Structure 1
Amino acid sequence: MKTLDTHGEELEKLKDLLFSEDTSKIITGIQNMNTLELHIFAANYNWNSGFEIPEAILDNGNCDFGTGLLLFYRADGYRVLESKDAVSESSLSDWKKLISNLFDKIVAGDFPKKMISFTPPLTKVQAFKLRKSIPGIPEIFIDKSPGDDVEIPVL
């Protein structure tokens, strides 16, 4: 897997996009990112900026399974796993669309790349409760995903 120069122009490019206020510029930048850049960008994304950017990350063919899982948890996916009604009871239509599509994409295995590992941020108790309350829950939501561990620089 390609590594980023943690002090170089690649990180500066990601940082400039991350703090840009021009959504179309950000989306165009995301369309040209490789797998590692997408993961680092997603890990640093500020969710107060909406769901259009995470959707663009997921639409990029270079989006890795680990990045999809990271976005699922950052978008409050645990709440979806914990309660079947979390999505239907939410008044946030953009969130409902993103989290439902992401859940389905993860379950269907629609992420062909599995180069970057992601460990769901679950305590042992949370993992136990999920397994107990949802028999047959896909382990992909609980276990560390396949791939290499990647150190995420803060942008």
Structure 2
Amino acid sequence: MSNEELKELFKFILHSESCEDITGKISGIRDTYVLHTLAYNMNYHKIYYYKSGNFCIENAVINNPDCDLGTAMLLFYFWNGFDYLLESNIRYNKIVSLINRVTVSKETQFLKKVYEKILNRGFKTGIAYKPKIGKIELSIFEKRNFVPPKVFLEETPGIEYEALKIWYK
């Protein structure tokens, strides 16, 4: 897909008012790198809170059979996956966990879906992604006596890919 085609795709997705149209467009993408570029650019465009909202883009990308583990991890950490890992530690957060079951946000539902799909090896590998987990974050896990699954701490297998930043007017 050319740069111009990527810009048009991104523009369509950001300005579409129909989740069905967005899902249809994204489900037709068969290029792992295009899906990764789309997810990467959502991280850079804070105007991303598009009209249709409700995690339509994210779910369409995650549900695409060509979605890569690196792309899934990018989206997981973009939507505050680090805090999700902390909150999922039931030994530390029993009360918060009970409260969250009653009022689960769309963000939490999305993160849970991605978390479980990653653990169940629901993504192919090909694009490398290294989570930004440093000594401070590791010490927080240690203080809470919690060790998250290794897949959330290590670089995903694959080729390093520098996604194109899409800017349009």
Give yes or no for TM over 0.5. Answer: yes
RMSD: 2.3
Q: Are 1:39 and 1:67, in contact at CA under 8 Å, matched by a contact in 2?
A: yes
Superposed counterparts of 1:81-96, under 5 Å: 81-84=85-88, 85=93, 89-90=99-100, 91-96=103-108
Superposed displacement of residue 87, structure 1: 6.0
Show the counterpart of 2:45. Answer: none
Please tell me whether the aligned partners of residues 70 and 118 of structure 1 are also in contact (alpha carbons under 8 angstroms): yes
TM-score (norm 1): 0.81
Q: Report runs of 4+ in structure 1 exceeding 6 Å deviation.
A: none
* Residue 142, structure 1, aligned to residue 153, structure 2: yes
Greater relative contact order (CA < 8 Å, ≥ 6 in sequence): 2
Map 1:2-151 onto structure 2 (within 5 A).
5=2, 8-23=3-18, 24-33=20-29, 34-45=31-42, 46=48, 49-84=53-88, 85=93, 89-90=99-100, 91-111=103-123, 113-130=124-141, 133-151=144-162
In the alignment, structure 1 segments of 5+ residues that lack a partner are none
Deviating more after overlay: 8-17 vs 57-66: 8-17
Shift of residue 92, structure 1, vs aligned partner: 4.3
CA pair 79-42 structure 1, distance change in 2 beyond 3 A? same
Moved more, 19-28 or 53-62: 19-28
Provide the secondary structure at the position in 2 that maps to 1:19: helix
Q: What is the aligned residue count?
A: 149
Q: Gapped runs of 5+ residues in structure 2?
A: 43-47
* 1:21 positional shift: 2.4
Length-normalised TM-score, structure 2 = 0.75
